[in-house]
Homo-oligomer: A and B are copies of this chain.
Amino acid sequence: MTTEFLSLRDAMATHVRDGMTVALEGFTHLIPFAAGQELIRQQRRDLTLVRMTPDLIYDQMVGMGCAKSLVFSWGGNPGVGSLHRLRDAIEHQWPNALTIDEHSHAGMAVRYSAGASGLPFGILKGYTGTGLAVENRAHVATIACPFTGENLTALPAITPDVTVLHAQQADGAGNVLLRGIVGASREAAMAARCLVVTVEEVVEELDAPMNAFVIPAWQVHAIAEVPGGAYPSYALGFYSRDNAFYQAWDEIARSRSDFLAWMERHVLGTVDHTEFLCSVGAAE
């Protein structure tokens, strides 16, 4: 497989289709916002969205009607409060009903790791006595250790149709470097049938120490160079998390009308991520 270098628009249009299971991963750091907003522009529908922390990007995608289902483990605005659009979808089915497949962080990590390992399920100690085990019987089972008899929890693997990551660098061959907090990004990448990566920059040679987190080119279906592509989350070494924006989002997303107006103006009303960044005053 040869990695294709595409525009963000083409990368999303080529690889993400209505009805797919899609994971835009990145734990707080390197969240692929530009890719998610491009999916909103392309009006994708009926997606099963997978992320440990839906964060603002899935709040936007859910609020704009891209998702029919959500697989997640913590759905808040970190350090701020609720994700109002996610709440509205679950509490009032607006703009549409949303099925949820809910886990703990440890559970999501196990599910991604199982998918990345080519196993149908993974195991952990946990879930005993939790409401999750009661409410999510389709995705939580008990399994006994064949050696000790101890009961453990089994969870089914996640294997997204497409995983989208944002990373600091790619080289011309398509090798990708992630640096800093990686969350479960590597597992989400290896679990996926198709991997698309947006990067801050394409360089001659990766600035990668020997044991760095490098995804080899032959695992990467497409790369799009999108500077600022993780904003308002961050890309270590490039820009910081816009914590002020995360705080401001609470007001923006609180009402349906304010949310729609903001999305119209800054996402649907811009042609690409550079215009988006200028439009929200995040570019200089």
Contact = CB atoms under 8 A, between A and B. Distances in A.
A229 to B, nearest CB: 20
B141 A121 contact: no
Interface in A132-146: 141-143, 145-146
Contact of A211 (B119, B152, B154, B182): B182
A81 interface: no
A130 interface: no
A213 interface: yes
Contacts of A236: 210
Interface in A98-126: 118-121, 123-125
A145 B143 CA distance: 9
Contact of A148 (B120, B146, B148): B120
A145 B118 CA distance: 13
Contact residues of A: prevailing secondary structure? loop
Copies of this chain in its oligomeric complex? 2
A199 B14 CA distance: 51
A156 B147 contact: yes
Interface in A234-266: 236
Interface of A: 118-121, 123-125, 141-143, 145-148, 150, 152, 154, 156, 179-180, 182, 209-213, 236
Given A143-B143, A146-B143, A210 B121 contact: no
Given A179-B211, A180-B211, A120 B147 contact: yes
The 7 closest A-B pairs by CB, nearest first: A141-B146, A209-B209, A120-B145, A147-B156, A120-B148, A121-B145, A146-B154
7 contacts: A119-B125, A142-B146, A145-B154, A148-B156, A180-B210, A209-B212, A211-B213
Contacts of A143: 143, 146
A242 B145 CA distance: 43
A210 B177 CA distance: 13
B154 A147 contact: yes
Nearest to A146: B141
B123 A123 contact: yes
Given A119-B123, A119-B125, A123-B123, 10 more contacts: A120-B145, A120-B152, A121-B145, A143-B143, A143-B146, A179-B211, A180-B210, A182-B211, A209-B209, A210-B236
